[in-house]
């Protein structure tokens, strides 16, 4: 596998994110919603516990809505702008294109999670959290975002327009999130 091809696609896609308002809207929306709802909507202060459980419990739902917005442009935009044929004619293999695009969007999500680390720092200042649990939660959240992103990227390949790609990924993400609810699992597990 040639890493130069993946790296070139990665840099191009990452630059495209930051040249458009999409990266800034994604980062702002994710950080505002996750911190706002965690601290003010889910009784963070009344819990009297030094953890970020409410913050991380929101991530699957936020990823369901926001990650398809990143994934929708990965391939549907290329189809709409007629640049897909040009990109496919380059001396790059399909897996290099797919990995480069995926890693660029996944890096943007990772950067967004890094920008939420001041919550962890303030929590460490206010109490004595279990840092290994919080670090593992950040890692798990980033990996979960990768799952939602890979699903959105695959659906973006199927869709012709960005809004169709977003709707397909949103509906699929909602189904996945709803199927992972605890009461649904409690109902299904005795049958397995």
Range of the domain at 120: 3-191
pLDDT at 1 over 60: no
Which of 68, 73, 59 is CA-nearest to residue 30? 59
Cβ atoms within 10 Å of 119's Cβ, excluding its own: 18
Cβ atoms within 10 Å of 77's Cβ, excluding its own: 17
Backbone angles phi, psi at 42, to 5 degrees: -115, 25
Q: Which of 31-45, 135-149, 162-176 has the lowest mean pLDDT?
A: 31-45
Question: What is the model's pLDDT at position 182?
Answer: 66
- What predicted TM-score, i.e. pTM, was given to this entire model? 0.85
Q: Count the domains in the chain.
A: 1
Model confidence pLDDT, tens digit, residues 52-97 = 887 888 888 899 999 998 888 877 777 666 666 666 667 778 888 8
What is the C-alpha to C-alpha distance for residues 163 and 101, in angstroms, rounded to an integer? 18
Are 96 and 5 in contact, with CB atoms under 8 Å apart? Answer: yes
Per the listing, tokens 């709802």 go with 37
Question: Which structure tokens are listed for 36?
Answer: 């706002």
Q: In Å, how far from its chain's centre is CA 66?
A: 7
């Amino acid at each position: 596998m040639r890493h130069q091809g993946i790296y070139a696609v990665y840099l191009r896609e990452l630059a495209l994110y930051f040249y458009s308002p999409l990266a800034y809207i994604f980062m702002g929306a994710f950080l505002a919603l996750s911190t706002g709802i965690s601290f003010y909507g889910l009784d963070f202060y009344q819990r009297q516990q030094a953890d970020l459980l409410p913050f991380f419990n929101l991530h699957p739902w936020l990823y369901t809505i926001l990650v398809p917005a990143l994934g929708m442009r990965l391939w549907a935009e290329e189809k709409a702008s007629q640049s897909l044929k040009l990109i496919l004619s380059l001396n790059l293999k399909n897996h290099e294109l797919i990995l480069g695009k995926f890693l660029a969007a996944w890096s943007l999500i990772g950067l967004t999670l890094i920008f939420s680390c001041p919550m962890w720092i303030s929590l460490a200042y206010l109490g004595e959290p279990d840092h290994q649990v919080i670090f593992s939660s950040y890692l798990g959240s980033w990996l979960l975002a990768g799952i939602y992103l890979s699903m959105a990227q695959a659906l973006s390949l199927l869709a012709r327009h960005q809004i169709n790609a977003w709707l397909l990924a949103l509906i699929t993400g909602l189904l996945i999130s709803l199927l992972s609810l605890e009461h649904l699992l409690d109902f299904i597990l005795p049958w397995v």
